[in-house]
Amino acid sequence: MFTALLNNLKAQRRTIVFTEGPDARIQEAAARLLKEDLMGVILVGKVDEVKAAAEKNGFDIAGAEILDPATYAGMDEMVEKMVELRKGKMSAEDCRANLQKGNYFGTMLVKMGKADALLGGATYSTADTVRPALQLIKTKPGAHLVSSCFILTRDTGDEALKKLCMGDCAINLSYEDSVDKEGNVTVSAAQKLAEVAVESAKTAKFFGIEPKVAMLSFSTKGSGKGATVGLSAEATKVAQELAPEFAIDGEMQFDAAVSPTVGQLKFPGSKVAGYANTFVFPCIEAGNIGYKIAQRLGGYEAYGPILQGLNAPINDLSRGCNAEEVYKMAIITAGMA
């Protein structure tokens, strides 16, 4: 999976910003990235603190640029730009205060072209990574939400199932209609889930998976009843209209999605049933549980969450991550730039 990304990075130099510069896991990964000359590295934090932590742990980060929001020479320009982006929602004082935080400061470095990508979240929540990205980087034209997916890989077993994509497992708790002040639906729940499906298909393709997208449910083709059954079925129709170039089908149960025998029995004629490699869950509970089962019991390596729908590559780390995971997610994030 990483060969193509590494080739991309070697062909075009990119710079990644890490929002938690003093963290030992970040520094270990940064030292490796610098030693292998894969990308430029910016570490956010107090210069003395970052250097002291690296010296204590024996990490060579001499090639990294360390930026402290408190002493950053371009802060006034950054504040001015953030005020413009927030359009009256934050005062200059509010923006300056937020920019003292690594997540906001790092996001603005990407927005202003000082870095190509951002990786954060080793010490704070997903929400604290996503919020500045939504406010400053914003969603792509036509996108109504930010979502996420995980890429899962393993070396053994069925060749067709060695590399999978699963979404959304980390960002959207559920899908509900958006309504205006008059009560009119502006964006339907089905539209939102359909966008997750299309974005997950695009991410899968980026990572070398020819996407066959299953809209998962506890029902196959109307065999069950319930709120998420209707949501998955309707989202399938919307997704097929949004991206006819992708094979997307549903709603279907997981066994129908991965077993050719069960799939063609329950969903005859489907180009996806029995052969799916990209799975879209109807709610975060199913998605988060599903990918973790695959990871812990199925022997898959899980990479993510990979954020989708933003104007620049910004990704989140698990607070339980290790340096190896930071290193690999940095390659993924910078490679997406």
Which residues of the chain carry a pLDDT beneath 50? none
Residue 320: predicted pLDDT? 78
Tens of pLDDT along 210-230? Answer: 999 999 999 999 888 887 899
| Number of Cβ within a 10 Å radius of residue 212 | 23
117, 121, 199: which is closest to 165 by C-alpha? 199
CB 30 within 8 A of CB 43: yes
Q: Could you read off the pLDDT of 66-107 as tens digits, one per residue? A: 999 999 999 999 999 999 999 878 899 999 999 999 999 999
Distance CA 316, CA 228 (A): 27
Report CA Rg, the chain.
21
**DSSP 8-state assignment for residue 310:** B
- For the whole model, what pTM was predicted? 0.87
Rounded to whole angstroms, the Cα distance separating 204 from 210 reads 7
Residue 96's pLDDT is 93
